[in-house]
């Protein structure tokens, strides 16, 4: 199939006909691919244990605000919160909800508008804020860098600082599993990682308890599923990044429950330290190829598969030191090799937590001011340039909070991969080596 239609161009004419025939042969050779679709869809029913007493006490009788509450996860969270009897349940978003939750007061708010966000939090004075408002599509983030930074970085800063000034006791931030990468060129993933950093800085001031969660692919609002089904409906090719792609999934129910776990834990955490929470066992990863074949079978379409290569916003190969094999099997796959050494259990037996050190990066603070100017004129190029500089500055500040022994371990794991590493991963590796105090690559057996 890749010989018929090499990645990087749109197939047409005879190429499409040949891809259809080859797709039919592939489906005939893998008659059980529909089971992968069924397994994928069943994840929507999955849940995790929540410490009911602590979660109930954290919500009951309190004023609760959810930003981005009109989305899939926000709606599920609002339903979950409503059952815990808050005194007031509020939701803000840029767009009206597709399915409103009874008892929720919905308000319009653009979190990128600093003045309006300040006014809103001051007027509402919630006791708890769940911050979900964000641009969540990695592909769109690459096309609209300014809008993504405006929503995901500046918006997170605006909500956090406004909540702090309004004397909100607790804030829970929704991040992404993609933020486990210490540095990435992908705008969406790096913008959410920057959000984690912003919250850690706010938490370090000790005036508001901040926690966060990392979500992976949520089946209930799947961009991939919707795109594949749409392609089948229109008879168009189903575009795969790679035939070898696999990915972890979770449900909207698990996502809402995870945020409750993070809130329940906040009463047990020391002031001035932010913590991130992730589901430990996400099950066996889903095969993108089998999922696509299952959707073709489900639809009865003759749409072909096309291995298109990786779109901007989706990383082809991770940094070789992203995971430490000595630790990775015991913690959530959304925790990296730097973080795994400090991972520990939470109040929920299904959830791991890690501390997020409040690094100091004056260069990142300067980036926020420059980003505001670029976002004001929607200048994607200008925002992207300062964004990449800020990402490197943030990595350097973060690495300085890590034990040299951990960095030494990671660079030992990557030493054998250096001859084939790309320039960005080599730059990361060199930075790790520098702060580990190493002059030459080392390796571990």
CB-based burial label for 47 (10 Å; 0-12, 13-18, 19+): exposed
Band (pLDDT 50/70/90 cuts) for residue 270 is: low
Weakest-pLDDT range from 117-121, 332-336, 364-368: 364-368
Would you give the DSSP letter of residue 10? -
**412 and 340 fall within a common domain:** no
Distance from C-alpha of 205 to C-alpha of 198, rounded to nearest angstrom? 12
pLDDT at 49 over 80: yes
173 with 202: CB under 8 angstroms?
no
Whether residue 372 lies inside any domain: the answer is no
Whether residue 197 lies inside any domain: the answer is yes
Structural Rg of the chain based on CA atoms: 22
Give the mean pLDDT of 389-405: 95
Q: Tens digit of pLDDT for each residue in 173-216? A: 999 999 999 999 899 999 999 999 999 999 999 999 999 999 99
**315 and 432 fall within a common domain:** no
Band (pLDDT 50/70/90 cuts) for residue 70 is: very high
- Provide the domain limits for residue 35: 1-360+393-400
Q: Tens digit of pLDDT for each residue in 104-152? A: 999 999 999 999 999 999 999 999 999 999 999 998 999 999 999 999 9
Name the percent of the chain lying above pLDDT 70.
Answer: 98
Buried b (16+ CB within 10 A) or exposed e, 298-308: eeebebbbbbb
Name the percent of the chain lying above pLDDT 90.
Answer: 87
Whether residue 367 lies inside any domain: the answer is no
267 vs 422, more confident:
422
Structural tokens at position 262: 């993070």
Q: Tens digit of pLDDT for each residue in 206-232? A: 999 999 999 999 999 999 999 999 999
What are the residue ranges of helices labelled H in 177-279? Answer: 187-204, 223-234, 252-266
Band (pLDDT 50/70/90 cuts) for residue 445 is: very low
Distance from C-alpha of 275 to C-alpha of 211, rounded to nearest angstrom? 5
pLDDT number for residue 442: 56
What total number of domains does the chain contain?
2
Cα-based distances in Å from 422 to 243, 399, 418: 22, 20, 8
Domain containing residue 218: CATH number: 3.40.50.720
Whether residue 198 lies inside any domain: the answer is yes
Tally DSSP H helices, then E strands, for the chain.
17, 15
Angle between helices 362-376 and 380-399 (to 10 degrees): 160
**318 and 433 fall within a common domain:** no
Distance from C-alpha of 186 to C-alpha of 191, rounded to nearest angstrom? 8
User: Which residues have a Cβ under 8 Å from the Cβ of 423 and sit 6 or more positions away?
Assistant: none
Other C-beta atoms lying within 10 Å of the C-beta of residue 187: 31
Band (pLDDT 50/70/90 cuts) for residue 9 is: confident
Whether residue 12 lies inside any domain: the answer is yes
**356 and 407 fall within a common domain:** no
**342 and 431 fall within a common domain:** no
Q: Tens digit of pLDDT for each residue in 230-263? A: 999 999 999 999 999 999 999 999 999 999 999 9
Band (pLDDT 50/70/90 cuts) for residue 31 is: confident
**443 and 305 fall within a common domain:** no
Q: What is the pTM of this model?
A: 0.95
**279 and 417 fall within a common domain:** no
pLDDT number for residue 310: 83
209 with 177: CB under 8 angstroms?
no
**335 and 268 fall within a common domain:** yes
Distance from C-alpha of 317 to C-alpha of 421, rounded to nearest angstrom? 10
Distance from C-alpha of 199 to C-alpha of 358, rounded to nearest angstrom? 9
**340 and 415 fall within a common domain:** no
Cα-based distances in Å from 292 to 35, 216, 301, 305, 355: 11, 19, 12, 8, 37
Whether residue 370 lies inside any domain: the answer is no
**61 and 200 fall within a common domain:** yes
Tokens 């995870």 -> residue: 258
pLDDT at 443 over 70: no
**407 and 342 fall within a common domain:** no
Would you give the DSSP letter of residue 33? H
pLDDT at 385 over 70: yes
Band (pLDDT 50/70/90 cuts) for residue 300 is: very high
Whether residue 365 lies inside any domain: the answer is no
Whether residue 384 lies inside any domain: the answer is no
Distance from C-alpha of 65 to C-alpha of 90, rounded to nearest angstrom? 5
pLDDT at 269 over 80: no
pLDDT at 326 over 60: yes
């Amino acid at each position: 199939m890749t010989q018929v239609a090499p990645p990087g161009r749109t197939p047409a004419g005879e190429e499409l006909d040949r891809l259809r025939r080859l797709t039919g042969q592939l489906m005939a050779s893998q008659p059980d691919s529909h089971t992968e679709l069924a397994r994928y869809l069943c994840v929507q029913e999955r849940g995790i244990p929540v410490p009911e007493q602590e979660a109930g006490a954290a919500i009951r009788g309190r004023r609760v605000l959810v930003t981005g509450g009109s989305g899939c996860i926000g709606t599920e969270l609002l339903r979950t919160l409503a059952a815990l009897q808050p005194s007031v349940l509020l939701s803000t978003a840029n767009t009206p909800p597709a399915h409103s939750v009874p008892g929720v007061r919905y308000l319009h708010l653009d979190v990128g508008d600093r003045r309006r966000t300040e006014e809103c939090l001051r007027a509402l004075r919630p006791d708890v804020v769940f911050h979900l408002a964000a641009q969540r599509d990695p592909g769109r983030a690459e096309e609209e860098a300014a809008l993504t930074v405006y929503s995901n970085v500046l918006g997170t800063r605006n909500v956090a600082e406004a909540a702090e000034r309004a004397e909100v006791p607790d804030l829970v931030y929704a991040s992404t599993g993609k933020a486990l990468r210490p540095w990435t060129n992908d705008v969406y993933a790096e913008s959410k990682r920057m959000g984690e950093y912003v919250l850690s800085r706010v938490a370090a001031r000790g005036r508001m308890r901040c926690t966060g969660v990392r979500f992976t692919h949520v089946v209930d609002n799947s961009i991939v599923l919707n795109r594949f089904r749409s392609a089948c409906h229109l008879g168009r090719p189903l575009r795969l990044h790679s035939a070898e792609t696999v990915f972890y999934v979770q449900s909207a129910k698990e996502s809402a429950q995870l945020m409750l776990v993070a809130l329940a834990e906040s009463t047990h955490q020391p002031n001035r330290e932010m913590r991130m929470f992730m589901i430990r066992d996400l099950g066996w990863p889903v095969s993108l190829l089998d999922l696509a074949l299952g959707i073709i079978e489900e639809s009865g379409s003759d749409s072909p598969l096309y291995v298109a290569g990786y779109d901007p916003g989706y990383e082809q190969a991770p940094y070789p030191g992203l995971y430490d094999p000595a630790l990775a099997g015991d913690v959530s796959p959304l925790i990296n090799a730097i973080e795994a050494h400090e991972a520990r259990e939470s109040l929920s037996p299904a959830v791991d937590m890690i501390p997020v050190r409040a690094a100091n990066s004056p260069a990142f603070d300067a980036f926020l001011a420059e980003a505001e100017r670029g976002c004001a004129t929607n200048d994607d190029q200008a925002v992207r340039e300062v964004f990449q500089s800020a990402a490197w500055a943030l990595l350097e500040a973060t690495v300085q909070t890590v034990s040299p022994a951990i960095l030494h371990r990671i660079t030992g794991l990557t030493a054998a991969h250096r001859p084939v590493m790309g320039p960005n991963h080599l730059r990361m590796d060199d930075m790790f080596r520098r702060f580990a105090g190493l002059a030459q690559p080392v390796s571990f057996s």
